[in-house]
Amino acid sequence: MTESETKALKELHFPQERSLGALYQIYRTGTMSGWWENKLGEAQGTVQLVKEANLHLLVSADADLRDFNYLPADALQSIDFRMVDIDNQSLECISHLTGLRYLSLPERKIGDDGMYSLRNLRFLHTLDLGGTEVSDYGLSKLRHLTELRKLYVDSTAVSGPGAAELNQFLPNCHIVVHSGRMLNFPFEVSPGKLLVAQADPGGQRTWSEVGEALGTVQVSRRAFVRLEVLDREAFQKCERLKPDDIQSLDYLFDEISDLDFDVINRLSGLRELRLGGLEIEKYTLRELANLQRLRTLQLTSCNIVDPEALKPITKLSSLKELRLSHCQPGPLDLGDLLSRTPVKKLLLEGAAVDNNLLSTIAGENSIEELYLVFSSVTDEGLQALKHFKNLRTLVLRTDSITEEGLENVLNLTDLVRLVVRADDISEAVFASFRYLKQLEELSLRQVDLKGEGLEYLSELVSLKRLHLGISSDATKEEFESYKDRIRLFIDNLPALEELSLRYDGPDIELGYLPRLRVLDLSNNPVQDRGLTGLAGLINLETLHLKGCNRIGSEVVAKISHLPHLKELDLSLTRINNEQAQGLSALSELRYINLASTACDNRVLESLSELSDLRYIDYPKALTDADMPHLSKLRHLRNLRLGQVSDQGLTHIESLIMVGEVNLSGQPISDDGLASIRNMSHLKDLNLSDTRITDGGMVYLSNFKELTSLNLSSTQISDDGLSALTNLVSLRSLNLENCKRLRDRGIACISSLTSLKWLNLCNTRVTDSGIASLRRLPHLSTLRLSFTQITDDGLAVLNQLHDLNVLDLENLEISGVGFKHMSACRRLKELKLSSSNIVDDAIAYLSELPALEELDLRNTQITKESLKSLAAIKSLKKLTLIGCDIAYGDLVELAPLTALETLNFHECEYTRVERAGLKMALPGCRIVLLDKDVNWT
């Protein structure tokens, strides 16, 4: 490196022991700031980069925030704390980072006092406080941030006037107060399903279904939204979607037209696109060039028939990830494609991925992550790895490779992560891996241990995570020649932080592993005396021994010498109460699992002084006798309550961090509620079939974070429900069999605008009371069976646009009120059994485009309604038990091509009638049940 190049670099020194999080470089594409897509690695140790680099840090969930105090003022330009618990006090750790321009604190426990920590951050451009505890008073502390251009305070206590007052001091700042954004789809028919992405603390993304893409749908401002297209014609009518409404699109059809691309191109903000089942010719994908913000493209089960079919991909300047899953590559020149794209991550999945496809790669490319999954690639095909000089991640899930083919990784000197899922790998493979000095993660599903090669692991000086499945095949002819050399030892890995071993032998030896924090030995037959070296792992924080049913007192004695152990799983072992007494020395323990062991709840006495415990998987359900042992565990977040009384609950008054309490069926009175009144973090409370009264309901008003409340089969009345009006986070409320509830109490519920699930079955609510539910716009499930509702009361359904499930069983309704259901276009399940529904009412149900389940058992309908039922094309399950309809008449349901299950009563029918019904509904399962039994 020349002197001038050296001067153009800078060094940042992050903590050596543990990463602060993932470090990214912020770059610009054109005139717009791109995504933080250039990941530099972990914020750990010394990081060298160009002086002009702007850095973004996604703080990890287990970061030690005190380490921020040692960073230079200009070290970072952007920080995101969304994955870590941070509060007013700990936020002070960034007060000196004056180079910050972007700061994200969404849904963190930051309040007005925390705004003082921003006093020095005068160059902030964007500040995200959405979902925090900041109020108008806190905004007054931001008036000095004159460079601020965007401030998000949605879902906070900030008011419109409060935001307007700040704007007087910061006139160039756009302040976002509203929490949602509206997506507009056709009202007549849904193009498919909507999902939003959710990230767990480990950074993995999962999808949560929002519902049908129908009419106007509200999602949160930050939501990363996926649309799974199920109806092409409806998708082509999505003319009201804006460019940034959808971030991820699934389009799995065997053809794609210009009309489809018209809509896709309108979604110019797409980050992810999955196409499936296409015959891809030369010009099929030409319109993709318009999606210049696309980061990920996946082709699933497509047939590539032209050498130039994927050429449009080369014009996507922001594309970072390409996935070819179970495609037929045909004439594809993969090497040429990779040489002309900026793709960094490549997944090749399916049997059609073979040596021939990889042989087209003859030159270097920019791929940094390569995944070969369920492929036909053999050792010969792995020779192509020599062209992947920039590779940092390699995942091989194919059974046709051996240790000989894996010699091709020798020259991948920048490799950081290597995962191999193959069944015929010998221990000799470690001799090839020893040259990978940058390797931080190694995972091998199956290695045949022969006593030669494991020692090379110690040459992987950067290794942090090691996952090995190891066995010794005694059926091999040569086994006798090496069986005495077989030894599983993991030693001399100074950087190793996580170790997972699956081994079929009785002995595991652990040596010099000074930084090991996580050890997983679950389901190993290791013997009590066979696990050596455990006591020397003084920095161990997590230990999983689940299913190790041969361990006993010797292993527990070693565990007791692990001073920093925070998580311990002993489930499915033979540990007993006496042996567990040694665990009382684990002063930093936060989680312990003792389920399915030889322990009973008397073991809690040994844990009673471990004041830092958060979670216990108990051996048995808790009784009054167990409660005194929990009284000092003030950080405990979970209880598994069995037979308990008011007296038992008095011992847990100090457990204010508990998140769920289930007292269903217990002899709990208002005195018991008084004992748990300080559990301010309670999210789920079940008081079903208890002795509580209106007098005890006042204690529930303390549970501001409560999302689910079950009061079914209690004696509460209208007066008691008034105590719930400030539970604004409540999403589920069960009042079934609360027979003292009338309309006045139901009116109190209308203030709970976050409510999504409501059960009023067998209460005394009437049409007047149900009318107040119009103020619950997000209600998705409503159960009203055995109430005093009439057809007139169903007028409220006009206002409940988000309903998915509606229960109207056993009501005095004929169905004339169904005319008000036309607004319930997301309704999927409708229960009408034992109500007085007549034929004329069924026609209204054909206006429900999403209806999939309909229960009409024991109603008044006849064969005259079958024509109207046949018009509900979305039906998947239909129940007609006990209706005045003959078996032979069911053939009129033939238009219901999506019908999967038809429940009908046992009756006589001819062979011809049976054959006719099978022909009319070929894909439907016909179930005949006793009409006198309530098949729910």
Q: Is residue 745 part of a domain?
A: no
* 477 vs 490, residue with greater confidence: 490
What sign has the CA pseudo-torsion 522, 523, 525, 528? positive
Distance CA 532, CA 411 (A): 36
29 and 88 share a domain? yes
Longest CA–CA separation in the chain, Å: 95
- Across the range 77-88, mean pLDDT stands at 91
* 448 vs 593, residue with greater confidence: 593
* 498 vs 188, residue with greater confidence: 498
Q: In percent, how much of the chain has pLDDT > 90?
A: 78
Find all residues with CB under 8 Å of 21, minimum gap 6, and list them.
42, 43, 57, 58, 59, 60, 63, 83
Q: Which residues lie across from 175 on neighbouring strands? A: 151
Lowest mean pLDDT among 210-224, 420-434, 519-533: 210-224
Number of H helices, E strands in the chain: 20, 51
Using an 8 Å Cβ cutoff, are 708 and 683 in contact? yes
Find all residues with CB under 8 Å of 762, minimum gap 6, and list them.
736, 737, 738, 739, 785, 786, 787
- 539, two tokens: 């920095």
Q: Which domain holds residue 231?
A: 188-253
Lowest mean pLDDT among 178-187, 237-246, 328-337: 178-187
Q: In percent, how much of the chain has pLDDT > 70?
A: 97
Distance CA 266, CA 235 (A): 12
Is a pLDDT exceeding 60 seen at residue 202? no
CATH of the domain at 118: 3.80.10.10
Using an 8 Å Cβ cutoff, are 13 and 46 in contact? yes
26 and 141 share a domain? yes
Q: Is residue 60 part of a domain?
A: yes
Looking at residue 643, what DSSP letter applies?
S
Is a pLDDT exceeding 90 seen at residue 264? yes
* Phi, psi dihedral angles at 167 (to 5 degrees): -60, -25
Mean of per-residue pLDDT scores for the chain = 92
- Across the range 711-727, mean pLDDT stands at 93
20 and 159 share a domain? yes
146 and 245 share a domain? no
What's the number of domains the chain is made of?
Answer: 3
> How does residue 292 score in pLDDT terms, banded at 50, 70 and 90?
confident
126 and 195 share a domain? no
Distance CA 436, CA 416 (A): 8
CA-based nearest residue to 774, from 754, 755, 798: 798
38-42 and 417-421 beta bridge pairing: unpaired
Q: Is residue 216 part of a domain?
A: yes
Q: Which residues lie across from 904 on neighbouring strands? A: 928
Q: Is residue 76 part of a domain?
A: yes
Q: Which residues lie across from 48 on neighbouring strands? A: 11
Using an 8 Å Cβ cutoff, are 668 and 695 in contact? no
Q: Is residue 246 part of a domain?
A: yes
Residue 479's pLDDT is: 78
Mark which of 180, 212, 227 sits at the end of a domain.
180
171 and 196 share a domain? no
- 917, two tokens: 């019904």
Q: Is residue 394 part of a domain?
A: no
Residue 32's pLDDT is: 40
SS (H, E, C) 166-207: HHHHCCCCEEECCCEEEEECCCCCCCEEEEEEEECCCCCEEE
140 and 195 share a domain? no
Q: How far is CA 244 from CA 209, 250, 498, 582, 677, in A?
A: 19, 16, 40, 57, 45
Q: Is residue 507 part of a domain?
A: yes
Mark which of 568, 598, 628 sits at the end of a domain.
598
CA-based nearest residue to 904, from 893, 912, 915: 893
Give residue-wise pLDDT tens across range 566-593: 999 999 999 999 999 999 999 999 999 9
CA atoms within 13 A on the CB side of 357: 22
Element housing 584 (H / E): none
Looking at residue 875, what DSSP letter applies?
-
- 491, two tokens: 């030693």
Neighbours of 234 (CB within 10 A): 19
Q: Which residues lie across from 519 on neighbouring strands? A: 499, 543
Is a pLDDT exceeding 50 seen at residue 36? no
38 and 123 share a domain? yes
96 and 210 share a domain? no
9 and 76 share a domain? yes
> How does residue 324 score in pLDDT terms, banded at 50, 70 and 90?
very high
Q: Is residue 423 part of a domain?
A: no
Give residue-wise pLDDT tens across range 244-261: 899 999 999 999 999 999
Distance CA 256, CA 278 (A): 8
Mark which of 229, 253, 277 sits at the end of a domain.
253
129 and 49 share a domain? yes
- 887, two tokens: 């078996």
Q: How far is CA 367 from CA 4, 229, 286, 339, 883, in A?
A: 29, 30, 23, 9, 64
499 and 592 share a domain? yes
